[in-house]
Amino acid sequence: MEKRWDRVREWLETNAPDLTDVLRPDATDADISRAKSGVGLAFPPSVRESYRIHDGQEPGTFGLFGGWQLLPLTDVVREWEKQREIERDFEFGHWDPDAAIPIMADGGGNFLYVEHAPDGAETPVIEWWHEDPTRDVQASSFAAYLDAFLDALEASEYVYLEDDAALVHEDDL
């Protein structure tokens, strides 16, 4: 994971220097353990490794991953708790608090999540829209998600919009 994040930071320094400060410093093993206890679910290995490098993005910064914010661990727990309460109170059947761990958010109630990994296996990154019961697998693991993001960055598929301090995929322009 370290090499992946090195590539992300290098690309940002060259192509989107305003975004280099949105990544938070590393989380400690104690921080990761608290988050795991908070949601009661095991994080997949690549997610744990990533948090050991960057504890998500600064609050309110959505420009790095094409509109998604990599959640800090405290927000992972807060968002999981919020979705658990909504599901408990309204029984929509859209969120499974026994399996889903939100790791990215768009600020509008939608998430990218990974599933509980009790056996230490990687689990897919899944896109969840709060008004739509369908789920779309975005990548087979968080490591694969970062790889695809890096490939797209390095293939110039993302455009940096300086006025918005945001990376936008060319398909979304």
DSSP assignment of 119-169, as one string?
TS----EEEEETTEEEEEEEESSHHHHHHHHHHHHHTT-EEEETTTTEEEE
Q: Do the beta carbons of residue 76 and residue 39 sit within 8 Å?
A: yes
Beta bridge partners of 76: none
Please name the CATH architecture into which domain 2-172 falls. Answer: 3-Layer(aba) Sandwich (3.40)
Compute φ and ψ for 74, nearest 5 degrees: -65, -35
Using the structure block, give the residue that is written with the tokens 């095991």.
Answer: 42
**128: how many CB neighbours lie within 10 A of its CB?**
21
pTM: 0.94
pLDDT average, residue stretch 55-59: 95
Give percent above pLDDT 70 in the chain.
100
Confidence check: pLDDT of 70 > 80: yes
